[in-house]
Amino acid sequence: TTMASKAVAVLLLVFLQGSAFGIKLTGNGYTDILIAINPKVPEDPVLITQIEEMIKEASRHLLNATEKHLYFKEVAILVPPNWNKGNYSRAETEVYDKANIIIDEPNKLHGDQPYTLQYGECGSEGRYIHLTPDFMLNDDVSKYYGPRGKVFVHEWAHLRWGVFDEYNEEKPFYLSGSLIEATRCTIKITGKYIHKRDQKDCTTDPVTGLYTKDCVFYPDKQQTTSASIMYNQGLNAVNEFCTKETHNTEAPNIQNRLCGNRGVEEVITSLSVDAGVAVVPTPPSILPTFTVVQRWQRVVCLVLDVSGSMAAGSRMLNLRQAATLFIQKIVEDQAYVGIVQFTNTATIREPLTLIDGKVSRDKLVGRLPPSASGGTDICAGVEKGLEVNTIPIIGDVIILLTDGESSINCQIRVKDSGAIVHTITLGPNANINVKDLSDISGGKYHNAADGVDSNDLVDIFASHTISDGSLTKQTIQLESTGLNMIGWFNGSVSIDRTIGNNTSFLVIYERSPPDILVLSPFTRTYDTSHFKHDAPAKTLTLDIEGTAETGKWKYSLLNKESTAQSMSMTVTSHAVSEAISPVMVKTHMSQLSSNGSKPMLVYADVNQKGVPVILADVTATLMSDRGVKYELKLQDNGAGADAFRHDGIYSSYFTELTTGKYSLKVKVHNNDGTARFSLRRHSGALYIPGYVVDGQVVMNPPKPPVSEDDLQADVGSFSRTAIGESFSVSLPPGVPPPNFPPNKITDLNAEIEGDKVMLTWTAPGEDMDQGTAMAYEIRFSEDSDLLRSNFSTAHLVTYNLSPKTAGSPEKLSFTLFSIIKNGTTLFFAAKAEDKSFLKSETSNIIQVTKIVPKAPVPSPTDAPGGPDTSGGGVNITVIVISVTTVTMVACLIASVTMCSIKSRRVNHVTVDHNPTERLSCPGLSLQAGVFSFVFGVGFLVLGVLFLCWVNGSQLEAAECRYL
């Protein structure tokens, strides 16, 4: 029996290891790829056909680009619930929120440009690829990006391998030595530099030494190089990624900045999720297979633990309060909901009930379990939940809540059922292994702390809103806060112009109902009498009729008892209309489990239909199952944990890792109205400006502009609360908490001002982006590869600068007289060091070139009498000619004087009967003229050289260059 048990355990372990939810690499083929179509996209069978053709074409391109190693094998297409013309299979674990590729309407920022939402770290998987119906169906739109299959491979590299674009619209050119190059990879991509307005050769900016802003690099239609897809996927000859040998390490693009100047192939093989994957022989057929599925009505069974441990403290009360909120406010009409309770056995308390109004909701709330006792058998509850759900149960949902421990041996049953299981553990002693049920079924895992004031359980149930891509149907949580206190509990919540329908205020208390006062921004006052009181559940609810007023709502709760009690306030709302997309917030951790070997990152995405919302106040709260709370300020500054400035992705490192389970909650506020929409685009396919064909530029229409007026408008005051999946930390026994180095500096910048170099960057911390580092190590070289491969051997910059607190701007200026000359190119990089002498990774490598601006060629307006446009500068020509003229006149006067003196001397000594000859003095006049001319020209040359030497800023003047 023991051997049999061990064999089952081994088989189960192997099963779980191969069943992680999400994209898988099976052999050389990618499986479990999910493409979801948004409900706003009209039903069109041609769209399904186009998706399939794109993936087939992409599979061939991917196989070629990866040396016959990788291809697409199995793809599911999830169509919206409102499509009714096709014969679609019922979805199993496929849900919109888990989609890898989304087909949706264009947004204001990207239009029809294919793009990928990436959160940051090089080598980390992205969130999803975004494609539009017009890109998929309209050849006139897609041709400006290239073949759809190759465009998809470009985006797949972002999504799967965490690489970045090799072009840079903000820095399209750079200096490589004395040559101006287009930002591209490889450098072997040939083309012409042409003014986009008049199609003439580009001119150079005398200040930067680069081409002017209206210059565009048009690649030759025919190329001799095959790389790179991450630069220009539209070129016919380009069908590979850059290798270590072909990668352009100098180009100022995001790939070099975030990936340490590594090429795409190097990232794939050394940093990505597919690094080190064994290569197996490619099968004869690489055509992917497709399934088209659709989610039907939502079917949810609440499987609730009522064992003896649930009777402790306020756990049963918390359960009833959270489940009541879910039934009354969260689950949508026309869904089916059932209730199961379990101890060491399981019982159906209420079979599936159609949600079709207040009566059905009240009936379900009345059937919630009232008390707890007995043992715990988690899988008994799961089995009963599967029994409650209809036949077939494919695609149905179980929300499982437990605070206890028992063996978990129903993983295979859950996997085979096709149901999605969301698991919730309550308190510190719950079995973490229930997370396996979520992992294999595509569900979410959450851990909730005990106590009314934590509000965790309410938040978790509130997060289980509909997930079909329809933002107007989703319940949006605005506020969630609680305190244990005596007296008044005050706060505020902002209702913005994107929400306001079905707004609800929910007050939860521990023992006795508080007095309540809610003030709307303008006209209404609500007191306790306006709230509906549910005494058994200890809740009070206020539903705002119609559309809630826009602005700041204030609330006050008064605990009338003489001792402290826990109270909480939760506010939810919905989109104001179908026409206006609400501001949404999503949050997650970079990983859901950690052994402490590397820091974890907290992310929050704040956007309105894909358009980033920036300058908001974002705070993450991480609560351990032992009740320890950590608060982190999330930043969108393009430094530390944050990869891109002003992209609406707010980030921070979480470094205080100790063993346990953690919950994640993010609050976003814009109380002062400073938040704005951003023009910052996500990683995406290059819009091709045109090509050079037979020496002539064939231009494409300009990329559709983004309206800055729309995107820079004030978002208005708003409040949001978002819940992320919980995560766990398990440090090796006896190992102290990890000590992390400062984070890598990723925004190092350099400029040359005269003979000085000015460096700027954002300060890292003592532990990643937390605290204050101890010192910096700054080095430079004329060889960028030296800084990357052998940083410690480059030239060291000596300085007197104490690091500031993490997130602060740093500035350092120093002089390099003996090195900086006109045309000199230097590369700089930096490291930070903490008090334990741990050093950060080498920063991004920044390039700077000394350029002395050229003086403008004199124009007619510079002639005497014309307007003075010199700005007070020295005009060498005027000064030198003037001085030379005066000198020549002086020499001539001197010659005449000498002649006159000599004539008088001669007349005095001798007698001359020819007065004319005596007065002409011909020999001396010739000598005087020659002397004046030679002396004048010499003085002219010496004067120009002297002035060029004295006034260094004029060294590029025409006279100096001529000399």
Q: Compute the distance between CA of residue 915 and CA of residue 917 in angstroms, rounded to an integer.
A: 6
Neighbours of 288 (CB within 10 A): 19
Per-residue burial over 299-316, b if 16 or more Cβ lie within 10 Å, else e, is bbbbbbbbbebbeeebbb
Cβ distance 657 to 729 under 8 Å?
Answer: yes
Structure tokens at 940: 């002219």
Pairing assessment for the beta strands 649-654 and 617-624 based on DSSP bridges: unpaired
Residue 913 three-state SS: coil
Answer whether 893's CB lies under 8 Å from 925's CB.
Answer: no
State the Cα–Cα distance between residues 848 and 826, nearest whole angstrom. Answer: 6
Alpha-carbon gap, residue 26 to 919, rounded angstroms: 113
Q: Which of 905, 958, 898, 901 is nearest to 927 (CA)?
A: 898
Tokens of 113: 């440009």
Strand-pair partners of 920: none
647 and 612 Cβ atoms separated by less than 8 Å? yes
- Give the Cα separation of 720 and 712 in Å (integer): 20
Contacts of 927 (CB under 8 A, 6+ apart): 895
Place of tokens 């006049």: 925
Q: At 211, list the tokens.
A: 């081409």
Peptide bond into 587 cis (omega under 30): no
Token pair recorded at residue 118: 């990436």
Q: Is the Cβ–Cβ distance between 576 and 499 less than 8 Å? A: yes
How many helical (H) and strand (E) elements, i.e. helices and strands, does the chain have?
A: 19, 49
Closest alpha carbon to 167 in 71, 235, 65: 235
CA distance 348 to 358: 22
Coil, strand, or helix at residue 670?
coil
Specify whether the CB–CB gap between 83 and 43 falls below 8 A.
Answer: yes
Contact 502, 576 (CB under 8 A): no
> Can you tell me which residue has the tokens 């960028």?
784
CB 453 within 8 A of CB 483: yes
For the stretch 779-785, contacts whose Cβ atoms lie closer than 8 Å and that sit 24 or more positions apart, written own/partner, are 779/828, 779/829, 779/830, 780/826, 780/827, 780/828, 780/829, 781/826, 781/827, 782/824, 782/825, 782/826, 782/827, 783/827, 784/249, 784/250, 784/261, 784/827, 784/845, 784/847, 785/249, 785/261
Q: Retrieve residue 428's tokens.
A: 């510190």
Q: Give the per-residue SS3 of 28-73.
A: CEEECEEEEECCCCCCCHHHHHHHHHHHHHHHHHHHHHCCCCCEEC
- For residue 291 the two structure tokens come to 């399934």
- Tokens 């489940």 — which residue? 323
Tokens of 831: 């490291």
52, 94, 125, 155: which one is catalytic? 155
Phi/psi at 492 (nearest 5 deg)?
Answer: -150, 160
Tell me if residue 782 is catalytic.
no
DSSP for residue 117: E
CA distance 606 to 613: 6
Instruction: Give phi and psi for 752, each to the nearest 5.
Output: -110, 125
Q: How far apart are CA 234 and CA 152, in angstroms?
A: 11
Catalytic residue positions?
155
